Structure 1
Amino acid sequence: MAAAVARRDSFSDSGSDSEDSSLSDSELQEAFARGALKPGLNVVLEERPKRRNDTDGLKQCLAEFRQQLAWVERLDVTLGPVADPVSQGASTSDAVDPENDFQREMSFYRQAQAAVLEALPRLRKLQVPTRRPDDYFAEMAKSDQQMQKIRQKLKSKQEAMERSEKAKQLRAMRKYGKKVQVEILQRRQKEKKNMLNAVKKYQKGLSDKLDFLDEEQTSSQGNKKGSASQRTKKGRRAQSGTQKRVLMMYPASSQKWLTTKAQEKEEEEEKEGRKPLIPESTHITCLC
């Protein structure tokens, strides 16, 4: 019980000690005797060193690492900001509010402008170029040799792509040519089949029309290329040859009737003012 009371008294004493920061030596001795003072509660503050501005030492350090270089190697200027034209040349260094972002940035801009106005004439006087070439875009991190290799690589890749594209086009053209050729062969086979069927029907007496002769003539004329005179000559030869082949397939009794039909057709064309398609040298009557 007595120990608890003493501990409570010590806590109250420690709280009072924390509240009163200015304790006398006698009070500290009494607290130490009671056991209220414990290690770590009190920290001895070190005396702060006094600040001093050693200008001589700073100048000595500056002289040790300073390099005596020309101005063109240093490019340093010490200037104030350009006078604000709005204030008519009045000094605005004291009026700049550091908390105002706009005024602060404008002061930086005017100071940089003053440095440019001071440094450019000096650079021109020393014949130092201050403008980039017209074809200059940016500082390259790679050398010219490496860029030349990259350019050649890109060029070779582009040429390979062009060759592959041409090969694709050639393959497509060949495929299309084969397709057209197959279509032409199929059409010719179909026309030949229709022609043979019409001839068979005519032989059997199932049909008395000779339209397949005109169709053969028009198809032969449409498939041939060349000038108009060449087409007419080829058409005449084709029709005469076709009629010859057709007449050779018929018996002699039917050839007279076909000859008269051809003569009547020629007479009708002569009346209408058209030339006969079959020349006299290869007339059908020669087969009778």
Structure 2
Amino acid sequence: MNMEDFENDNQLGVESEEEESDVSDGELQEAFSKGLLKPGLNIPLQEAKKKVNNVAALKQCLADFRRNLPWVERLDLTNGPVADIVAKADGKTSVEDRGEINAEDDFQREMHFYRQAQAAVLEALPRLQMLKLPTKRPEDYFAEMAKSDQQMQKIRKKLVMKQAAMEKSEKAKKLREQRKYGKKVQTEVLQKRQKEKKAMMTAVKKYQKGISDKLDFLDGDKDKGKKALDKAAAKKIHSPSAKRKYKDQRFGFGGKKRGSKWNTKESYDDVSGFRAKVAHGKGGKKFGKGGQKIPNKRPGKNARRKMKSRS
């Protein structure tokens, strides 16, 4: 078989498959239209169910379900939430009155349910008391909890841990506040003491210098005032020693020290210690500068050797 025969056979095979597929599609469409197809390969679309609103049948079903039972057996209440006491106390309108209830807000939703339950309790309790039905659980009442003891232990443990953490936080907060208050009080006490001490020292100095003769500063603390007064009196009565007087005379009293050796008019006019020979260098060999006597100068080593050889 050459290449041309192979290509011809392939073309014939493709055309035959197309003809067979066209025929089979037509047969399938015809069988589907006649309803002869079996389920499995092709699933026919189901028509949408028609919605029927049979009001009479619904009312009949409701009448069959209804039972004329007393309210004690039903305990059904239909009411709205109680008034918002917090908003009234603050002088504000409640969220319901303003119509701003947000169903997506968890807090508002839960508070609405809570207040609605309160309203139901406030309405149900008087009716139960009028019917002389007990509303409190007896002491010997026993009922199984909806949750297990293990779950309740976990919840109790978590609540105890949360309460302990809150108490610890409150305690730490109180300690911080006490420390701040104690530090503030301590600072105020120190400032007050320093102020009193300064005022007392000022009064003592005034009394010591004779500026004031008032002893009002002794009224606050008699012991301290007495000690300060005794000290001031002792300092006032005590006279300086001879050594102190000599030093004061020689070195002064702590005043101006620079220029203390400068000439004055009196020292310039005083010429009693003036010596002309000493001043002009005519004092002779025996006297040097300033009129001091020059001692005998020892001869040198060579001079002493010569003097020795001569002898």
* Fold shared by both chains (TM-score > 0.5): no
Bigger Rg, structure 1 or 2: 2
Q: Give the TM-score normalised by the residue count of structure 1.
A: 0.33
Q: Choose between structure 1 and 2: higher helix proportion.
A: 1
Q: Which has the higher contact order (CA 8 A, sep 6+)?
A: 1
Q: Give the TM-score normalised by the residue count of structure 2.
A: 0.31
